[in-house]
Amino acid sequence: MGLNFGNKLRGDLTEKEIIPFIGVYDAFSAAIAARHFDGIFVSGFSFAASFYGMPDIGLISWSDIVALVQRIRTILPQQHILVDIDDGYADIEVACHVVSLLESIGASGIVLEDQKRPRRCGHLNNKLILNLDEFLEKLEKVIATRKDLLVVARTDANDYDEIIKRVKAFDEVGADWILVDGISNLDMLRAVRSHTTKPIVFNHITGGKSPSLSLTELKSQGISAVLYSTPCLFAAQASIQESIQNLKAGDGLLSAGNPKSVDLASCQALLEENLRNRNAL
């Protein structure tokens, strides 16, 4: 399993020109997102919040991410699954091992970043980045390790010249796609586009640094893939908070606590659909 998912993603991009990936935090949110989108993004920010209840500061264990991807692929045999693996969990050998495992269980691609620990969300300030040569050594070995898994090289650099330098270097060593995170304006997007022929990835976060643009607008700017890192997590936070507040205000009546009209039958229907998908593998 897993040796064709990367090429499937490459082929799909050729046909569709731009692919959105919905950030999920567990298998349940992935199942809901997959009813509407073909691309699933295993978001480090969302997973850290859901699994640990803490910010994405480098706490994530690679084994937890691998286990999550395996659960998601079990119930979603067709979707593209792109996985955030931070800096590859610090060590080059660990990064290559994780890439091999993810490919073997059906991941379509990974995002490898040049951020130094302690890490931060890409749309926050005061990020530290690895020495370029140090990161390129890791990136090259990851690329050499994968078979057909798609590799997205991400930079968290802020300086214009450093960004362009890294984009060119990522292109030269063979990254499949390139992501400049926390990009704040269209001029930078156009500059990045002009310095590489590789597909460009755009990371969209509500309240983040990047401008809010539609898929049509992003496509016109030469963007090939869009990561929506947090819609499931943010929606869950808002809905859970509203539901619990209503339950409390309504004297414990379930009808008051569930404003979104989800009941046992509708939830069970989704879970049974996942079971059918698993059995179809």
Residue 93 in any domain: the answer is: yes
Q: Which residues contact 240 (CB under 8 A, 6 or more apart)?
A: none
Q: For position 159, which CATH number holds? A: 3.20.20.60
Residue 277: inside a domain: no
Report cis status (omega within 30 of 0) of the bond before 55.
no
| pTM > 0.85: yes or no | yes
Residue 244 included in any domain: no
- Residue 110 is inside which H or E element, if any? strand 109-113
- Compute the distance between CA of residue 85 and CA of residue 232 in angstroms, rounded to an integer: 19
When divided into structural domains, the chain yields a total of: 1
Q: Would you give per-residue pLDDT tens digits along the chain (281 residues)?
A: 446 999 999 999 999 989 999 999 999 999 999 999 999 999 999 999 999 999 888 889 999 999 999 999 999 999 999 999 999 998 999 999 999 999 999 999 999 999 887 776 656 666 788 999 999 999 999 999 999 999 999 999 988 999 999 999 999 999 999 999 888 788 888 899 999 999 999 998 887 777 888 999 999 989 999 999 999 999 999 999 988 888 888 878 777 556 567 887 888 888 888 888 887 66
Which residue segment(s) compose the domain that 43 sits in? Answer: 5-237
